[in-house]
Amino acid sequence: MPLPPNRTAKITAVGKYLPERVITNFDLEKLVDTTDEWIRTRTGIIERRQVGDGEATSHMATAAARDLLEKRQIDPEEIDCIIVATVTPDMFFPATACLVQNNLGASRAWGYDLSAACSGFLFALDAGARMIESGSSTKVMVIGADTMSSIIDYTDRATCVLFGDGAGAVLLEACEEGNEGILDSILRCDGSGAEYLCMEGGGSLHPPRAETVAGKKHYLYQDGRIVFKYAIKLMADITAEVAQRNGLKSEDIQLFIPHQANQRIIDASVERLGLREDQVLSNIDYYANTTAATIPLGMADAVEQGRLKPGDNVVLAAFGAGFTWGGIYLRWSEVF
């Protein structure tokens, strides 16, 4: 049967998971030469979460997925595909998506991991939307999950204050009328920025050796100033581009959900769009930068806080390692 020409993918449920352990700025003052005041004023972060012993990305992703399934009241066997956006998989292989599939008992699902750092959730959301639009799938689960504490050097004040652990999940289903859901996306990458935000060790270029461990190559490295310079421009540019391409003026956007890397980077995009504070979702203060999880966690919080209703115009934007960046426009639908 031919597909309706305008079929889109809408979000029908959201779920989240945050580990219980809270690490405050004051806790970090005891580890490195930093202050609560510096962290708050330079980043907007007050605290972040950290996994417990033995807890990894698949556990957080599974918990977020279970939260979603409970809300949507569906059986895991109804899921066609699971995409996990992450840069901190439990292992190189098998994919975290396979571990989540097994944990859930999603016996009909296939799945894979997607590596695009802080833009990972947007890239995965776009891929999932295409599966729904094409008619190849009816229920796709898109998860953003990262255990940043597993690749952070807690003696490096320039990075250890910035990141946290967490997971968020959304379910995509078809909107046959084509008037809700993911309506547009602009996604980009530029590998010339690779060296400024990366983890060099453990891959095929620098396989794990005593020297790579001694050289701290299994930790996240970031040249904060350079990344900041690109992030502040490119995230604001792509947000404006996706809004303009869809004829959205500031008053037409009910909620902007940006990646949460630094409150100052969020503010630059907000200023470019001319948005008021109540049109912006910011939760960096309590979660810090959870990499692929920031945007689905933002959605889950917005739903919990009653800040989204069917018909709302929502703009998502992200920037991260690669460099990767993107903007997505979606019209919110009824969400469980």
List active site positions: 118, 259, 289
Q: Applying CB under 6 A, which part among 7-15, 31-39, 51-59, 172-180 lies near ligand UT7?
A: 31-39
**CB 158, CB 150: distance < 8 Å:** no
Q: Of 63, 261, 270, 281, which lies in the binding site for ligand UT7, with binding defined by CB under 6 A?
A: 261
* Residues that contact ligand UT7, how many (by CB under 6 A): 20
Shortest reach from residue 270's CB to ligand UT7, in Å:
15
The yes or no reply on residue 228 touching ligand UT7 (CB under 6 A) is yes
Shortest reach from residue 45's CB to ligand UT7, in Å:
9
In whole angstroms, how large is the CA radius of gyration of the chain? 19
* Complex with ligand UT7: residue 108 or 229, whichever CB lies closer: 229
Side-chain-facing half-sphere of 326: CA atoms under 13 Å? 25
**Using CB under 6 A as the criterion, what x/- string covers residues 183-222 for binding ligand UT7?**
----------------------------------------
Site for ligand UT7 in 72-111 (CB under 6 A): none
**CB 143, CB 68: distance < 8 Å:** no
* Complex with ligand UT7: residue 174 or 187, whichever CB lies closer: 187
Backbone angles phi, psi at 100, to 5 degrees: -65, -45
Residue labelled with tokens 């939260």: 67
**CB 163, CB 315: distance < 8 Å:** no
Residue labelled with tokens 């005891």: 30
Count of C-beta atoms within a 10 Å radius of residue 34: 17
**Nearest CA to 251 among 312, 204, 330?**
312
Q: Applying CB under 6 A, which part among 74-82, 171-179, 259-267, 275-283 lies near ligand UT7?
A: 259-267
* Complex with ligand UT7: residue 17 or 228, whichever CB lies closer: 228
> What are the residues facing 56 on neighbouring strands?
none
CA 164 to the chain's CA centroid: 12
Site for ligand UT7 in 139-158 (CB under 6 A): 157-158
Give the contacts of 73 (CB within 8 A, at least 6 positions apart).
336
The yes or no reply on residue 225 touching ligand UT7 (CB under 6 A) is yes
Shortest reach from residue 67's CB to ligand UT7, in Å:
24
* Complex with ligand UT7: residue 157 or 217, whichever CB lies closer: 157
Which tokens sit at 123? 């890239």
**Cα–Cα distance for residue pair 287/236, rounded to 1 Å:** 22
CA 296 to the chain's CA centroid: 6
For 123, which DSSP code?
Answer: H
The yes or no reply on residue 30 touching ligand UT7 (CB under 6 A) is no
Shortest reach from residue 234's CB to ligand UT7, in Å:
10
User: Footprint of ligand UT7 on this chain (CB under 6 A)?
Assistant: 34, 38-39, 42-43, 118, 157-158, 161, 224-225, 227-228, 231, 261-262, 265, 289, 319-320
